[in-house]
Chains A and B, each alone.
Chain A
Amino acid sequence: MNVTVNVNGKPYTRDVEARTLLVHFLREDLLLTGTHVGCDTSQCGACTVHVNGEAVKSCTVLAVQADGMDVKTIEGMGTPGDLHPLQTGFWEKHGLQCGYCTPGMIMASAELLKHNANPSEEEIRYHLEGNYCRCTGYHNIVKAVQHAAEIMAQGGQSGQAADD
């Protein structure tokens, strides 16, 4: 079954099984392995991507459901030379250790900052409650998101920060 998905600004057409999850489509068909799988009950958030601008757990979406849609993954957020403020925030504030939850955390946080430019600690924690991190104890993740919000408030838009 053919699907065409715009991923990080480029259209990709692939023949997939109807049961293929979006996360497997991204990882296995497009080799975009920055999006991770941490569970099989849609509870860890490691697979979070943006579909038409909204944060979505890509293990809960079939690839065929994303047909014709715009998907953004961590690979589309910024590059080492041109980081998104959230990527800078996670780096500066040590918001990651093993890095496995990080792409999902960044994608989920990006959605928060889109709707709330200056979130409180409580709002950040509440917004990220769908994303497990087993390494950081969340302290530095909260600080990373706050730092990103500050950079963005100062007009520091780098990376592909104009989030669709």
Chain B
Amino acid sequence: MTSNESKTDKYFGQALKRKEDPRFITGAGNYTDDIVIPGMLHAAMVRSPYPHAKINGINKDSVLGMPGVEAVLTGQDIVDAGIGSIPVGWLLPELKTPAHPAIALTEANHVGDIVAVVVAETRALAEDAAAMLEVDYEPLPSVAFAGAAIAESAPVVHDDVPGNVAFNWEIGDATAVQEQFNVAHKTVKLKLKNQRLIPNAIEPRASLAQFTPASGEYLLYTTSQNPHIHRLILAAFVMNIPEHKLRVISPDVGGGFGSKIFQYQEEVIMLLAARLMGRPVKWTARRSEAFVSDMQGRDHETETEMAVDKDGKMLAFRVNTLANLGAYQTLFAPAVPTYLYGTLCNGVYKLPAVHVKVQGVMTNTVPVDAYRGAGRPEATYAIERTVDAMAHALGEDPAEFRRKNFIQPEDFPYQTPVALVYDSGNYEPALDMALNMMKYPELRAEQERMKGSNKILGVSVISYVEACGLAPSALVGQLGAQAGQWESSLVRVYPTGKVELFTGSHSHGQGHETAFPQIAADELQIPIEDIDLVHGDTGRMPYGWGTYGSRSAAVGGSALKVALQKITAKAKKIAAHLLEASEEDVEHENGVFRIKGAPDKSKTFFDVALMAHLAHSLPEGMEPGLEATAFYDPKNFVYPFGTHMAVVEIDTDTGKVDLRNYGCVDDCGPLINPLIVEGQVHGGIAQGAGQALWEEGAYDEEGNLLAASYMEYTMPRADDLPMYQIDHTVTPSPHNPLGVKGIGESGTIASSSAVANAVLDALWHECGIEHLDMPYTAEKVWKAIRDSRAGMGQAADD
């Protein structure tokens, strides 16, 4: 038995290859669409082809006789079943929230809104019938862009949201900012668009529901980042099912990036269909459905202004943003462009005054909610673009301009003017490491040499801070969150010394099944092979809040640590009892419990686990068993930071941007598993670079999605990206037991700004172009260069 050979290796910090991988590399992963329940039916959604339309009627008979068709469900069936609106999970003062029915009843509000559902014997037959269903639509006027939607004469998306404004929100002191602007030496102003993105996890969403009438129990397999949240919403707010009679299992999930946090219409529909049909019902999205139904990201129209004094020290930063919320508000929608954005608009700088104003606007587009980074990439973009513009205006090097405005190490904990208290940080070492790693002076020299040729170079240096590890429950409660954001962990030790860990966090690629056992193996001092992590099943674990906001390690990992400490505390008591020593005389070292100074008298973890269960000899009054649960509520957010640098080469004849090099130095505190951390950074960089260079969820002005497949929505492919150079500084978080911070989103939070600034650095040096909106497609860049040269040519002629 391996437990008898307890080891002392430190697992924390090792680049172990992942325990979960054998199943994935051999094709044995178990994703929702892989699951078959005998007798299951299949559902196909009928989705509105119009951005806004009245539903005058649906002729169920048009398909009910078709082969294999078992049922057609409409909005009326939702009403008849007493099913409630899908709720919003974060309320703001005076927030206007339109109803969000699982199936639209009288009005479809975006292309892709569900107006009916066909249930049939096979997926193909369901889709055949869905295509044939007669729906009498009456198209209504519609609007896609936030700026257009607040115009006086704009079409109204929902009658109960007059003027399409769902909320007005602000943070910071507008007067203090104005006072700084009044005395400023220099100011700059930018108009920025942070375009709509579509998350595009490669596994499309899927759900499979089963109902057992005899017990009244429901089982839902679904592609979720947070199965407990789904159960809570479905049970308490939407379906009115006793919470303990709904088991939600989120098996292997093929990427989430935020898009699998939310309570979607389809999950409600599957549960209802399973009950009505008396058979299991499955739905799996086609990619073309994902484009019009997965929650989308970003979509800000923003004006920024910065003021500095005569020494180039920042005085104030002002932000005014229109946030496009789309047609409905889903789980975190109101929080993303406010508390996860406005509070981050201070960046890494000592800014005496900051003010951020945000208007949340409803439009006839797919709803917008958290997508990797959620508000923080938008904040970083607003600041870091403006900082570059200011550096240009001052004629200062962008790296040095940043450096002299950094919050200093001795300033922490640092209270920003926009509510957050940064717990710890040391920004300069990360900057210097990045500059050295990328050979910054040589890049600038190369840029000079290339000037005027048809290949120009752009270099960026951006520094970011983000707030993650969501979140202190009482604080977010005050801010409007309708949920707690602590995390739980259960540690179950078996008589044989084998251990199962349970967490309310969820891995959909992040490597929990390796990282969590690494933490446990160190604390219990047993081989990692004896430990497995279970997650993603509300039937097997204590309550939890899932994975988003880079919270798994900082909050879920901390909960695990606390539970493990309870186990070792009890184990030590049992060991002391077995060794006939007092607890204070027993130490837990090198995998054994032994009497200090008498190293031959020891008990292994296995001995203790066995006795805990045999209970033949336990300390007086001790309960048998060896199992502990912990609920951990963080004291603050955690604040990862770092410096990212991008190097782009632009072909001025074609406008094509080549991302030549990318380097970054991140600080996420101590690394549990460097291999996993680097993987997170790589993927994050790719998604941010995708935003900067290619991706755009483009709509026409009426709300028709123009980029509705992989033909039009351009995500980076292997041959579009370079190898990344990655390093770290380590500044532990002072307030959680592991010292760890999040790393799941940093890459994305920093990289869209880094790549954007590199492109603009090239265009500014070559042609004096101060700003251009992402994505920097060849056509857009080529036109900008041509126009600027035409302008310059003309100027020379005059």
Contacts and interface: CB of A to CB of B under 8 A. Distances in A.
A136 B679 contact: yes
A134 B718 CA distance: 10
A100 B31 contact: yes
A96 interface: yes
Contacts of A141: 718
A132 interface: yes
A158 interface: no
Contact of B287 (A41, A73, A79, A128): A41
Contacts of B678: 94, 140
B685 interface: yes
Interface in A1-36: 17, 19, 27, 31-36
Given A94-B18, A129-B718, A73 B27 contact: yes
A100 B709 contact: no
Given A80-B26, A87-B25, A99-B254, A142 B718 contact: yes
Nearest to B290: A39
A38 B202 contact: yes
A43 B712 CA distance: 11
Contact of B27 (A17, A35, A92): A35
Contact of A98 (B33, B255, B288, B718): B255
Interface stretch (B508-516, B550-558, B565-573): B508-516
A22 to B, nearest CB: 15
A103 B678 CA distance: 22
Interface residues of B, number: 57
A120 interface: no
B256 to A, nearest CB: 8
Nearest to A130: B717
Main secondary structure of the interface of A (DSSP, over half): loop
A40 B287 contact: yes
A84 B793 CA distance: 61
Contacts of B508: 98
Interface residues of A, number: 59
Contacts of B26: 34, 74-75, 77-80, 83, 87
Contacts of A134: 200-202, 255, 257, 683, 686-687, 715
A140 B509 CA distance: 14
A100 B287 contact: no
A91 B717 contact: no
A137 interface: yes
A158 B204 CA distance: 33
Interface string A101-144: 11100100000000000000110111011111111111111100
7 A-B pairs closest in CB distance = A34-B27, A100-B254, A99-B24, A137-B686, A98-B509, A97-B509, A74-B27
Interface of B: 17-18, 20-31, 33-34, 36, 124, 200-204, 252-255, 257, 286-288, 508-511, 675-676, 678-679, 682-687, 709-711, 715-719, 721, 723-724, 747
13 contacts: A33-B30, A39-B710, A74-B27, A75-B27, A92-B17, A94-B678, A98-B254, A100-B31, A101-B254, A102-B25, A122-B719, A136-B683, A137-B684
